[in-house]
Amino acid sequence: MHGHRSDLWSAGVAPPGHPAHEHQRRLILELAVEPPPDGDRVEDLAQTLDLTPVALKAAADALIAVGLCERRDGRLFPSAATRAMDALWPLAL
């Protein structure tokens, strides 16, 4: 068997137990599950997820750095990798 999957954390993904880890998890779930075609505004996501705009921006920046989301015209979108992963293994069942 391969090593434990927690050994594979990408740089930028917050470790479990860190507040940023929960912020990133909540953001990627929100982006992946039925994303609006025009993306999500950072301000709207911060309010929806009950995060400060600073915390939401930090989570988004980390997810962008590892290729899980994209920023276009000030809006956030799931990346192609995130959409493919959700198609293969739906995040919200």
Mean pLDDT value of segment 60-80: 96
Residue 53 has pLDDT above 90, yes or no: yes
Q: Which pLDDT value is given to residue 35?
A: 87
**What distance in Å separates the CA atoms of residue 37 and residue 40, rounded to the nearest whole number?**
9
Beta bridge partner(s), residue 41: 75
Residue 79 pLDDT > 60: yes
Residue 1's pLDDT band (cuts 50, 70, 90):
very low
Model confidence pLDDT, tens digit, residues 11-48:
789 999 999 999 999 999 999 998 889 999 999 999 99
Q: What is the pLDDT of residue 40?
A: 95
pLDDT band at 92; cut points 50, 70, 90: confident
**E strands in 27-88:** 40-41, 69-72, 75-78
What tokens appear for 87 in the block?
Answer: 């198609």
Residue ranges and CATH numbers for the domains of the chain are 19-88 (1.10.10.10)
